[in-house]
A and B are shown apart, each in its own frame.
Chain A
Amino acid sequence: MTIKTHRLLNATALATILAVLLVALLTIIGEEYAPLKNWLKNTFSHHWLGKSELSIALFGVTTLLVYFIGKDTVSSVKMVWAALVATVLSAGAMCIFFALHLLHLV
Protein backbone atom coordinates (compact mmCIF):
# COMPACT_ATOMS: atom_id res chain seq x y z
CA MET A 1 0.00 0.00 0.00
CA THR A 2 1.40 3.42 -0.87
CA ILE A 3 1.83 6.02 1.89
CA LYS A 4 -0.81 8.24 0.22
CA THR A 5 -3.43 5.46 0.06
CA HIS A 6 -2.63 4.42 3.65
CA ARG A 7 -3.03 8.02 4.86
CA LEU A 8 -6.22 8.62 2.91
CA LEU A 9 -7.78 5.39 4.20
CA ASN A 10 -6.87 6.27 7.79
CA ALA A 11 -8.13 9.84 7.31
CA THR A 12 -11.53 8.75 5.93
CA ALA A 13 -11.89 6.03 8.57
CA LEU A 14 -11.30 8.56 11.37
CA ALA A 15 -13.59 11.07 9.60
CA THR A 16 -16.28 8.36 9.40
CA ILE A 17 -15.96 7.63 13.12
CA LEU A 18 -16.44 11.32 13.98
CA ALA A 19 -19.25 11.87 11.43
CA VAL A 20 -21.33 8.86 12.51
CA LEU A 21 -20.93 9.71 16.19
CA LEU A 22 -21.94 13.31 15.46
CA VAL A 23 -25.13 12.11 13.72
CA ALA A 24 -26.04 9.92 16.71
CA LEU A 25 -25.31 12.68 19.23
CA LEU A 26 -27.21 15.38 17.34
CA THR A 27 -30.15 13.01 16.84
CA ILE A 28 -30.48 11.71 20.39
CA ILE A 29 -29.62 14.95 22.19
CA GLY A 30 -31.78 16.91 19.71
CA GLU A 31 -34.83 14.79 20.59
CA GLU A 32 -34.28 15.26 24.31
CA TYR A 33 -33.12 18.88 24.30
CA ALA A 34 -35.44 20.97 22.12
CA PRO A 35 -33.15 24.05 21.74
CA LEU A 36 -30.61 21.93 19.82
CA LYS A 37 -33.22 20.64 17.37
CA ASN A 38 -34.62 24.16 17.01
CA TRP A 39 -31.15 25.53 16.31
CA LEU A 40 -30.68 22.89 13.59
CA LYS A 41 -34.08 23.80 12.11
CA ASN A 42 -33.45 27.54 12.22
CA THR A 43 -29.92 27.35 10.86
CA PHE A 44 -30.35 24.72 8.14
CA SER A 45 -34.13 25.07 7.45
CA HIS A 46 -34.67 21.44 8.57
CA HIS A 47 -33.10 19.44 11.43
CA TRP A 48 -32.29 16.52 9.11
CA LEU A 49 -30.55 18.81 6.62
CA GLY A 50 -28.55 20.21 9.54
CA LYS A 51 -27.38 16.74 10.58
CA SER A 52 -26.60 15.85 6.95
CA GLU A 53 -24.62 19.03 6.22
CA LEU A 54 -22.75 19.07 9.53
CA SER A 55 -21.73 15.41 9.18
CA ILE A 56 -20.49 15.99 5.61
CA ALA A 57 -18.57 19.09 6.75
CA LEU A 58 -16.99 17.25 9.68
CA PHE A 59 -16.11 14.32 7.40
CA GLY A 60 -14.49 16.61 4.82
CA VAL A 61 -12.52 18.73 7.31
CA THR A 62 -11.27 15.70 9.28
CA THR A 63 -10.22 13.88 6.10
CA LEU A 64 -8.21 16.89 4.88
CA LEU A 65 -6.61 17.58 8.28
CA VAL A 66 -5.58 13.99 8.96
CA TYR A 67 -4.40 13.46 5.38
CA PHE A 68 -2.14 16.51 5.41
CA ILE A 69 -0.92 16.62 9.00
CA GLY A 70 -1.59 13.12 10.34
CA LYS A 71 1.08 10.53 11.17
CA ASP A 72 1.54 7.26 9.30
CA THR A 73 2.07 5.11 12.36
CA VAL A 74 -1.54 4.05 12.88
CA SER A 75 -2.62 0.70 11.40
CA SER A 76 -5.19 1.00 8.58
CA VAL A 77 -6.71 -2.31 9.62
CA LYS A 78 -7.42 -1.01 13.12
CA MET A 79 -8.85 2.23 11.74
CA VAL A 80 -11.24 0.40 9.36
CA TRP A 81 -12.43 -1.86 12.20
CA ALA A 82 -12.89 1.21 14.42
CA ALA A 83 -15.02 2.90 11.72
CA LEU A 84 -17.13 -0.24 11.46
CA VAL A 85 -17.63 -0.49 15.24
CA ALA A 86 -18.47 3.25 15.49
CA THR A 87 -21.11 2.84 12.75
CA VAL A 88 -22.66 -0.17 14.50
CA LEU A 89 -22.75 1.75 17.79
CA SER A 90 -24.21 4.86 16.16
CA ALA A 91 -26.92 2.96 14.24
CA GLY A 92 -27.66 0.76 17.27
CA ALA A 93 -27.92 3.73 19.64
CA MET A 94 -30.33 5.58 17.33
CA CYS A 95 -32.52 2.50 16.76
CA ILE A 96 -32.67 1.72 20.48
CA PHE A 97 -33.42 5.37 21.26
CA PHE A 98 -36.33 5.54 18.79
CA ALA A 99 -37.67 2.18 20.02
CA LEU A 100 -37.64 3.52 23.60
CA HIS A 101 -39.19 6.77 22.37
CA LEU A 102 -41.99 4.81 20.67
CA LEU A 103 -42.65 2.99 23.93
CA HIS A 104 -42.64 6.35 25.80
CA LEU A 105 -39.72 5.19 27.93
CA VAL A 106 -37.58 8.23 27.11
Chain B
Amino acid sequence: MNSFTTLMLVAHVIFGLFGVAAIHFAYMQLIRSHPPYRLVTWSAWSSVFLFFTSWITGAYYYVVYYGASVKPVILAGDYPWAHQFFMEAKEHVFILIPFLAIVSALGAHALGHHETSELKRAVSWTMLLTILLGIGVAASGILISGAVR
Protein backbone atom coordinates (compact mmCIF):
# COMPACT_ATOMS: atom_id res chain seq x y z
CA MET B 1 0.00 0.00 0.00
CA ASN B 2 1.52 3.35 -0.99
CA SER B 3 1.51 6.28 1.41
CA PHE B 4 -1.43 8.09 -0.24
CA THR B 5 -3.64 4.99 -0.04
CA THR B 6 -2.56 4.52 3.58
CA LEU B 7 -3.49 8.14 4.27
CA MET B 8 -6.92 7.62 2.68
CA LEU B 9 -7.57 4.50 4.78
CA VAL B 10 -6.52 6.24 8.00
CA ALA B 11 -8.60 9.32 7.09
CA HIS B 12 -11.63 7.13 6.30
CA VAL B 13 -11.46 5.48 9.74
CA ILE B 14 -10.75 8.70 11.68
CA PHE B 15 -13.41 10.83 9.95
CA GLY B 16 -15.95 8.02 10.36
CA LEU B 17 -15.07 7.61 14.04
CA PHE B 18 -15.32 11.35 14.70
CA GLY B 19 -18.60 11.42 12.75
CA VAL B 20 -20.08 8.81 15.10
CA ALA B 21 -18.62 10.68 18.09
CA ALA B 22 -20.20 13.96 16.89
CA ILE B 23 -23.66 12.49 16.35
CA HIS B 24 -23.35 10.65 19.69
CA PHE B 25 -22.55 13.96 21.39
CA ALA B 26 -25.53 15.59 19.64
CA TYR B 27 -27.78 12.73 20.82
CA MET B 28 -26.59 12.92 24.43
CA GLN B 29 -27.27 16.67 24.45
CA LEU B 30 -30.65 16.31 22.71
CA ILE B 31 -32.05 13.86 25.28
CA ARG B 32 -31.42 16.31 28.13
CA SER B 33 -34.53 17.94 29.60
CA HIS B 34 -33.38 21.38 28.33
CA PRO B 35 -31.19 20.65 25.28
CA PRO B 36 -28.72 23.31 24.09
CA TYR B 37 -30.09 23.30 20.52
CA ARG B 38 -27.34 25.40 18.95
CA LEU B 39 -24.76 22.91 20.22
CA VAL B 40 -26.90 19.93 19.13
CA THR B 41 -27.35 21.40 15.63
CA TRP B 42 -23.69 22.34 15.30
CA SER B 43 -22.58 18.88 16.41
CA ALA B 44 -25.05 17.13 14.07
CA TRP B 45 -23.86 19.21 11.07
CA SER B 46 -20.25 18.37 12.00
CA SER B 47 -21.18 14.70 11.82
CA VAL B 48 -22.65 15.27 8.33
CA PHE B 49 -19.37 16.84 7.17
CA LEU B 50 -17.31 14.06 8.80
CA PHE B 51 -19.44 11.26 7.31
CA PHE B 52 -19.19 12.73 3.80
CA THR B 53 -15.41 13.12 4.18
CA SER B 54 -15.18 9.53 5.39
CA TRP B 55 -17.28 8.50 2.36
CA ILE B 56 -14.92 10.23 -0.12
CA THR B 57 -11.68 8.96 1.47
CA GLY B 58 -13.16 5.46 1.91
CA ALA B 59 -14.24 5.48 -1.74
CA TYR B 60 -10.66 6.06 -2.86
CA TYR B 61 -9.28 3.23 -0.71
CA TYR B 62 -12.13 0.86 -1.62
CA VAL B 63 -12.17 1.48 -5.38
CA VAL B 64 -8.42 1.84 -5.97
CA TYR B 65 -6.92 -0.64 -3.51
CA TYR B 66 -9.36 -2.95 -1.70
CA GLY B 67 -10.83 -4.82 -4.66
CA ALA B 68 -7.50 -5.65 -6.27
CA SER B 69 -5.23 -6.17 -3.25
CA VAL B 70 -7.27 -6.94 -0.12
CA LYS B 71 -10.40 -8.81 -1.26
CA PRO B 72 -8.47 -11.71 -2.88
CA VAL B 73 -6.39 -12.14 0.31
CA ILE B 74 -9.52 -12.29 2.49
CA LEU B 75 -11.33 -14.68 0.14
CA ALA B 76 -8.31 -17.02 0.10
CA GLY B 77 -7.85 -16.83 3.88
CA ASP B 78 -9.54 -18.42 6.89
CA TYR B 79 -12.33 -15.84 7.11
CA PRO B 80 -13.84 -15.38 3.61
CA TRP B 81 -17.20 -14.49 5.22
CA ALA B 82 -15.55 -11.26 6.44
CA HIS B 83 -15.78 -10.04 2.85
CA GLN B 84 -18.80 -12.04 1.68
CA PHE B 85 -21.06 -10.74 4.43
CA PHE B 86 -19.45 -7.98 6.47
CA MET B 87 -17.77 -6.00 3.67
CA GLU B 88 -20.70 -6.36 1.30
CA ALA B 89 -23.16 -5.22 3.99
CA LYS B 90 -20.84 -2.51 5.37
CA GLU B 91 -20.07 -0.82 2.06
CA HIS B 92 -23.78 -0.47 1.26
CA VAL B 93 -25.15 0.34 4.72
CA PHE B 94 -22.46 3.05 4.99
CA ILE B 95 -24.13 4.96 2.12
CA LEU B 96 -27.32 5.37 4.18
CA ILE B 97 -25.62 7.06 7.16
CA PRO B 98 -24.86 10.56 5.75
CA PHE B 99 -28.47 10.97 4.55
CA LEU B 100 -29.82 10.07 7.97
CA ALA B 101 -27.30 12.47 9.56
CA ILE B 102 -28.66 15.31 7.36
CA VAL B 103 -32.22 14.59 8.56
CA SER B 104 -30.90 14.56 12.16
CA ALA B 105 -29.13 17.91 11.71
CA LEU B 106 -32.13 19.60 10.07
CA GLY B 107 -34.41 18.09 12.71
CA ALA B 108 -32.20 19.56 15.45
CA HIS B 109 -32.25 22.92 13.63
CA ALA B 110 -36.07 22.78 13.45
CA LEU B 111 -36.29 21.93 17.16
CA GLY B 112 -34.14 24.95 17.94
CA HIS B 113 -36.79 27.15 16.30
CA HIS B 114 -39.81 25.42 17.76
CA GLU B 115 -39.57 22.52 20.19
CA THR B 116 -42.25 19.85 20.21
CA SER B 117 -41.93 16.62 22.17
CA GLU B 118 -43.08 14.55 19.14
CA LEU B 119 -40.39 15.96 16.84
CA LYS B 120 -37.75 15.71 19.59
CA ARG B 121 -38.60 12.02 19.99
CA ALA B 122 -38.45 11.37 16.24
CA VAL B 123 -35.14 13.24 15.82
CA SER B 124 -33.55 11.55 18.86
CA TRP B 125 -34.45 8.11 17.42
CA THR B 126 -33.03 9.16 14.05
CA MET B 127 -29.77 10.15 15.75
CA LEU B 128 -29.74 6.89 17.72
CA LEU B 129 -30.18 4.87 14.50
CA THR B 130 -27.32 6.84 12.89
CA ILE B 131 -25.10 5.97 15.87
CA LEU B 132 -26.08 2.28 15.78
CA LEU B 133 -25.46 2.01 12.03
CA GLY B 134 -22.11 3.78 12.53
CA ILE B 135 -21.12 1.35 15.29
CA GLY B 136 -22.19 -1.60 13.12
CA VAL B 137 -20.11 -0.33 10.21
CA ALA B 138 -17.09 0.26 12.51
CA ALA B 139 -17.38 -3.24 14.02
CA SER B 140 -17.59 -4.74 10.52
CA GLY B 141 -14.48 -2.76 9.57
CA ILE B 142 -12.58 -4.37 12.47
CA LEU B 143 -13.62 -7.87 11.37
CA ILE B 144 -12.67 -7.14 7.75
CA SER B 145 -9.26 -5.73 8.76
CA GLY B 146 -8.64 -8.74 11.01
CA ALA B 147 -9.30 -11.12 8.12
CA VAL B 148 -6.43 -9.72 6.01
CA ARG B 149 -3.76 -12.35 6.70
Residues of A within 8 A of B (CB): 1-2, 5-6, 8-9, 12-13, 15-16, 19-20, 23-24, 27, 45-46, 48-49, 51-52, 55, 59, 76-77, 80-81, 83-84, 87-88, 90-91, 94-95, 98-99, 101-102
Contacts and interface: CB of A to CB of B under 8 A. Distances in A.
A49 B63 CA distance: 8
A102 B87 CA distance: 12
B78 interface: no
Contacts of B28: none
Question: In terms of DSSP, what is the predominant structure of the interface of chain A?
Answer: helix
Between B63, B100, B126, the greatest number of chain A beta carbons within 10 A of the residue's beta carbon is seen for: B100
Given A1-B110, A9-B110, A52 B55 contact: yes
Contacts of B133: 87, 91
A9 B107 contact: yes
A76 B110 contact: yes
A20 B84 contact: no
B42 interface: no
Interface of B: 55, 59, 62-63, 67, 81, 84-85, 88-89, 91-93, 95-96, 99-100, 102-103, 106-107, 109-110, 113-114, 116, 118-119, 122-123, 125-126, 129, 133
Given A5-B113, A23-B92, A87-B96, A16 B118 contact: no
Contact of B89 (A76, A81, A98): A98
Given A23-B95, A45-B63, A51-B95, A84 B119 contact: no
B68 to A, nearest CB: 11
B95 A80 contact: no
19 contacts: A5-B110, A6-B110, A9-B110, A16-B102, A23-B96, A48-B62, A51-B95, A76-B110, A76-B119, A77-B118, A77-B119, A80-B119, A84-B100, A87-B99, A87-B129, A94-B89, A101-B84, A101-B85, A102-B85
